[in-house]
Amino acid sequence: MNASSSSPRGVANTPRRRFNQAIAVGATIAGFPAIVRAQSKTITTTAFGGIYEKHYRTHVIEPWEKRSGFKVNLVTTGGADQWLTSAIVNKARPEIDLPFLSLPVTHTAIRTDGVFLDLDEKLIPNARQIDPLFFDYFDRKAVGFNYAPYGLFYRSDQIRTAPTSWSDLWRPEHAGKLLLPDTTSGGAEETVVIAATLNGGGVTNLDPGWAALRRLKPAVQRFFKNNNEPVPILQRGEAAIGAWYSARVFMLKDTGVPIEFVTPKEGAPIGVLSYHVARNSPQRDAVLDFVNFALSKTPQEGFGNAIEYGVCNRDAVFTGRARERVTPHNQLMRIDWRKVEIAKISERFRREITS
């Protein structure tokens, strides 16, 4: 769900790589060691850059700084896997007080003992306003801030009948016009689960999904490796239908491309950004206050309406274009990633589908 590049996927898979990533991230925040943060009323957290950072600062960080008297050191370099690696390597003296992580990295984080604080409504009272999908789903070891729906798109000047179901991707008239994500851009793993579910399987039986995707492969014009690749292709009209994150579709529509986003009747999977509180943060109370503020109705509404992403507070009200563009909670597809090994799906996708 990265607003400026591809969505982060996976975690570092070797000790050397983890060490190098931790050093790289640590160098970014070396000017704010734990003891200095404790003395200077500063917390260090992470987020994605670009338009995401702009709205996040405006609606969350700056109001909280004014309210609390603290300053936020925001790290936007690296990605979810590097931030988690830093948290693990530096768990005794965290360099990052509050890593902001994305699926599926989140589920690695909550399974890692001794790194992050277990959360509850006493620590974060506004968690009572959060849909359980974004709190209980993480076993209350993390809590969601916002989400990006993953659904269907189509060029309205080329597709006569708008798609309504994920199964429409397999319609023979769409052969050669399809764009689908590779594992590096976010959505590929979701596509496997969707394909399995459509064909009698699910998260615990992915074989029907693999078979369906092998059948679909010849009809796909491209499996895009990052979220910038589809833009010129769709601008030129070389592809007409596929799967992508909603905000990406609407950003392209706002440039004049005749493209629409559809939440399929089976639901839209989601990319979720979630807060993870470092257990040994020297500013734990301030971090918890920041999270509690970020989950409250006003910053959730402000951020969601500005960026047109979904937010996790059930009481948040969308207005204007956001009301039409944000997939509501009751239309989201709830995939239990705890029951699958994401890394194995990614590796098999690369081997069997995009190779």
Please give the helix or strand (H or E) that residue 224 lies within, else none. strand 220-224
For residue 14, the model assigns a pLDDT of 40
Tokens of 234: 């769709």
The length of the chain, given as a count of residues? 355
CATH fold of 148-269+338-352, please?
D-Maltodextrin-Binding Protein; domain 2 (3.40.190)
Q: Provide the residue-wise pLDDT of the chain in tens; the chain has 355 residues.
A: 443 333 333 333 344 444 455 445 554 554 455 555 556 799 999 998 888 999 999 999 999 999 999 999 999 998 888 999 999 999 999 999 999 998 778 888 999 999 999 999 999 999 999 999 899 989 999 999 999 999 999 999 999 999 999 999 999 999 999 999 998 888 999 999 999 999 999 999 999 999 999 999 999 999 999 888 999 999 999 999 999 999 899 999 999 999 999 999 999 998 899 999 999 999 999 999 999 999 999 999 999 999 999 999 999 999 999 999 999 999 999 898 888 888 899 999 999 999 8
Please give the helix or strand (H or E) that residue 122 lies within, else none. none
In sequence order, which residues have a C-beta less than 8 Å from that of residue 206 and are 6 or more positions away? Answer: 192, 193, 196, 340, 345
Dist. CA 99–CA 208, nearest whole Å: 36
Dist. CA 221–CA 158, nearest whole Å: 15
Question: Which of the following CATH numbers is that of domain 15-147+270-329: 3.30.420.40, 3.40.190.10, 3.40.1440.10, 3.90.1150.170?
Answer: 3.40.190.10
Dist. CA 274–CA 37, nearest whole Å: 22
- Rounded to a whole number, what is the largest CA-CA distance in the chain? 64
The predicted-structure confidence for 208-248, as pLDDT tens digits, reads as follows 999 999 999 999 999 999 888 999 999 999 999 999 999 89
For residue 15, the model assigns a pLDDT of 41
- Enumerate the β-bridge partners of residue 332: 268
Q: Give pTM, 2 decimals.
A: 0.81
The predicted-structure confidence for 157-174, as pLDDT tens digits, reads as follows 999 999 999 999 999 999
Dist. CA 343–CA 260, nearest whole Å: 31
Tell me where in the chain the CATH 3.40.190.10 domain(s) lie: 15-147+270-329, 148-269+338-352
